[in-house]
Amino acid sequence: MDIESIGIVGAGQMGNGIAHVCALAGYDVLLNDVRPEALEEAVALIRRNLDRQVSRGKVADTDRDAAMARIRTTLTLTDLGPKDLVIEAATEREDVKHAIFAELVPALGKQTILTSNTSSISITRLASRTDRPERFMGFHFMNPVPVMQLVELIRGIATDDATYAACHGVVERLGKTAATAEDFPAFIVNRILMPMINEAVYTLYEGVGNVNSIDQAMKLGTNHPMGPLELADFIGLDTCLAIMNVLHDGLGDTKYRPCPLLTKYVEAGWLGRKTQRGFYDYRGETPQPTR
């Protein structure tokens, strides 16, 4: 099946990045959110990120303008119905995702492929609540979407080969590389990454190191572009905690128990960069460690 038009649910951190790369690859994009300000901010941010790519010689200015012209926005979820592919990138909460699919599914074209950018929730369970488990799969982008090369493709138990092939074709047209994962809690990237981040928080909690020493150790000692605590702030501490809970509940092994300090930061509303405070405080000129 040929995919030419893509509907994206959610204009947040992931949704706007997905709209950016899809429009740049020549797809018609319709971006949906419940908040008009979120749509306005997303379009402005896509423009700024494209400008940055133009100024670094990565994108031609004519391609930036063509990409911007391919992005439309809507507050009405069901407007996404006629698209060839829908990528849901709303809040990482299962009840929210089920509610979105319940409203969207009656409006979908018969052939539309429905996907979720979920970073950890069961694809099979999400699919089972729709009318098209065979045309449903996980389409998991990494943050920041315009920079990261990987897309994780996750097949639910019922996903058919044509759906997988169509999604794989989209990843190739985006110029990215697909890694295929089976549908088990947190798939591949987060199954490995989140326990590492959680362990970094335990290392902080137990006083083995402070924020600076832990991040520096991992950056300089293992050549990671960001330390694990800086990366946790970048991803969002609420998202990290939610994924640890999915691993803990789904696999039932105590090695996945979320660190109490991670829970405490989330309880404080210190969610990382998006709230200006997490393991670092971003309110000043340069980020300051909070421990």
Residues that bind ligand CAA (CB under 6 A): 49, 52-53, 56, 58, 119, 142-144, 146-148, 189-190, 193, 225-226, 231, 235, 239
- Is the Cβ–Cβ distance between 272 and 234 less than 8 Å? yes
Residue among 108 and 262 whose Cβ is closer to ligand CAA: 262
Which string of DSSP letters, residue by residue, matches 92-157? S-HHHHHHHHHHHGGGS-TT-EEEE--SSS-HHHHHHTSS-GGGEEEEEE-SSTTT--EEEEEE-T
Percent helix / strand / coil, the chain, rounded to 5: 50, 15, 35
CB 174 within 8 A of CB 19: no
Q: Which is nearer to ligand CAA, 58 or 93 (CB)?
A: 58
| Residue 273: CB minimum distance to ligand CAA, A | 11
Do residues 84 and 2 touch, judged by C-beta distance below 8 A?
yes
Q: Cα-flanking dihedrals φ and ψ of residue 28, to 5°?
A: -75, 130
Compute the least distance from the CB of residue 154 to ligand CAA, in Å: 12
Q: Which is nearer to ligand CAA, 163 or 239 (CB)?
A: 239
Q: Is 179 helix (H, G, I), strand (E, B) or coil?
A: strand
Which residues are known to be catalytic?
119, 140, 152, 190
Please report how close the Cβ of residue 195 comes to ligand CAA at its closest, in angstroms: 13
Look at residues 197, 200, 220 and name the one whose alpha carbon lies nearest to residue 210.
200
Least distance to ligand CAA, CB of residue 236, Å: 8
**Smallest separation (angstroms) from ligand CAA to the CB of 240:** 8
Cβ partners under 8 Å of residue 229, min gap 6: 197, 200, 201, 204, 211, 214, 215, 279, 280
Radius of gyration of the chain (CA): 19
Q: Which is nearer to ligand CAA, 78 or 263 (CB)?
A: 263
Tokens 């405080």 found at:
281
Minimal distance in Å, beta carbon 53 to ligand CAA? 6
Axis crossing angle, helix 260-267 with helix 237-251, rounded to the nearest 10: 130
Dihedral sign for Cα 128, 129, 135, 141, please: negative
